[in-house]
Structures are given as C-alpha cells and as structure tokens.
Chain A
Amino acid sequence: MLRRFEIYSIREGVEDQRVDHLVEVFEQCSEHIPELLHSAVGRNLSDEPIHLVWEHSYESPEAYQRYMVHPYHANMLDRYLLNDSPERIVTDGILGDGALVGYACDTPVYYMSGGVRKVVLFGLDGPEGEVDSFIDELRNLPMKDETVELSVVEPNTMGIAWFDGITPILPASQWTHVWEAGFESLDAYAAYQAGDGRMSQAEREGWGPEKAVARAVELHYIVTLETGERE
C-alpha cells in the first residue's frame, strides 16, 4: 500500500467558503476515484502555520497512478492547488518538499475510524544506531503509553516519488521520516503530550534531547468518523 499526506497552508485573505469547498473536494474524491482509500481531511490544531492535511492511501502504485490521471484530479483538486491556476487558494508554506509525504506499507497499519491524528515530519540524521533506536522507541509507544492507539514511523518515500509512487524524481527530502500516531480523543492526545515518557518530554524540549532529530514539524487534527470510514 501507499500511504500519503498532502499538507497545505491557506493563502491569507481567502474566504472561508472557498476553503470549505476545497475540503469538500478532498472529502468527495473517493466517490469519484474508487482507488482512493481511507481518505480524511483534518484541520491542523497545532501552532504551525499549516491549515489542512489530507490523509489517504492506495492499494498499489498502479492504483495511485490511476488517481493521478483521473479527470477529477485535474479538474477539481488542482484547480485550488497548482501554482498557475487562477483559483489557487494555498501557499507554498513552510514545509518545502514536505507538502507531500508518505510511505509504503503492507497493510493499513495507520487505520483509525475516528479520533485524533498526530503527524510529525522528521528530518532524522546521525549514527544509524541512534536513528534506529529513536524509531523503535516511537514505534513501541502503544505498548508503553495507553493513550497512544497506534504509532507508525516509516521513511518518507512518497515525497520524492510523487509522480508514480515508486520512482524517485526529486533529490532526497529534508523530511526523511513520517511519524503518525492515533489517539482516541483530544483529551488522550493532551494527556500524551503532557506525559512523562521519553518521547513526550523530548518533544516538549523541541526534540533537543534526541540527537537523531535534526528537524521536526508537528501537526494534529481530528479525524471524523464520516471521513475516516470512507473507503
């Protein structure tokens, strides 16, 4: 499977109605492109100047490639997104090549039908053992912290291979890994963030204690049952 996130900042001054329409376009995408799985749109609640996250997935690179050439993609999505479209409402944002990230997985390990999604883009660097240890610590969070329902960390392979989902067409991304975690509610999310676990504490300290982390950006948003269940 291919797991994918599109992350957008809305241009200042854009009317709410137009943003709502873009959200609807994302939400209705799977009704037109059946290859699109587990599609949900979140409004970012973190302090980062990022407004929308569209999470979704595909069964295979071939399914993703059918999405790429579907008329709905060009007609409805790109209308609001491409730099040369007079209807564009997004900006280039702070993430650079992190506006599109994702990874490959064998099963929908990320799936949640509702709750709060936490997504962290990481630029990991340093000795291999240190990076691996950091990733293992994140992956094991659900076993150590009952507020964390799922925790997936994978290399960001999608960002540089966005054209067909598998072939890199861009240089290596500064965002080497994607971490996505799931929580039952905002209260559970807040409890994790305030917790005394190694990862929670490190995050509160700007990841400084974790030498493997060169850079990080955190987003979190509510995944509604309606959009979370749409397949």
Chain B
Amino acid sequence: MVYIVDTALVEPVQADEYVRVVQGEGVPVMTGAGARFVSCWATARDAGESVSVQTVWACADHREWNDIRRNMVLSPAWYEYSNRISGMWLGGSRRFYYPTDDSSRP
C-alpha cells in the first residue's frame, strides 16, 4: 500500500472552505481517478497560527499510482480542483508513506 499525504497550510479563516473543497471536489476527482480517500484532518482554527490540513489518499503501489496520475491529469475537473486548493496554500508538502511492520492497516 502507498499513502499519499498532502499537508497544506492555510489561513484559519479559509480552513473550513479548504476542507469543503477537498470533500466536495477533491474526493470525487481523486476517487474517480482510482485513488482511495483515507482521511482529512485539520489543526485548530483558533490557535493563532496557520491551519495545517492533512489529506491522505491511498493506492496499491506505484504502478497503480501511475494510472491514477494519468487519469488525474486527463481530467478537467482535477485542474479545477487543483486551482481551487492551490489558491489557498500558504505552504505545505507532499510525501508518500509506506507501511512498516508496526503500521496498523485500515
């Protein structure tokens, strides 16, 4: 299993909107492309700092990710989704994670 972990920093006032876009546009686009939606978590909106929104997608392996990636970039909806979320980014990261012996597997 491969987990794609996107961590985006956004302004606290945009955090709810960001999560709405992930749920409303990102999940249909990404699952339509073949990815599995795992989770979307956010840090506190009222802690006096940027909110970190962590979205996790999953797929079987890099061969499957390559197919998903193709489906993503051939989808106009993916570009619309990407434009929406990227307009709210203050920073962030994308990392691929792989299970270890101690990972609990959902």
Query: Footprint of B on A, CB under 8 Å?
Result: 68-71, 73-75, 78-79, 82-88, 163, 169-170
Contacts and interface: CB of A to CB of B under 8 A. Distances in A.
A132 to B, nearest CB: 33
A75 B69 CA distance: 13
7 contacts: A69-B66, A71-B62, A74-B96, A82-B72, A83-B78, A84-B78, A86-B9
Contacts of B70: 163, 169
A167 B49 CA distance: 48
Given A79-B94, A83-B86, 8 more contacts: A69-B65, A69-B66, A71-B62, A82-B73, A83-B78, A84-B81, A84-B86, A86-B8
Interface in B53-93: 62-63, 65-66, 69-70, 72-74, 78-79, 81-83, 85-86, 89, 91-93
Contacts of A69: 62-63, 65-66
Contact of A87 (B26, B73, B79, B94): B94
B7 interface: yes
Contacts, number: 58
A112 B62 CA distance: 33
A75 B96 contact: yes
Contacts of A73: 62
Give the contact-size bracket for chain B.
20 to 34
B6 interface: yes
B78 to A, nearest CB: 7
A121 B65 CA distance: 30
Contacts of A83: 73, 78-79, 82-83, 86
A84 B26 CA distance: 10
Contacts of B79: 83
A78 B66 CA distance: 11
Contacts of A74: 62, 65-66, 69, 96
B93 A84 contact: no
A36 to B, nearest CB: 16
Contact of B94 (A68, A71, A85, A163): A85
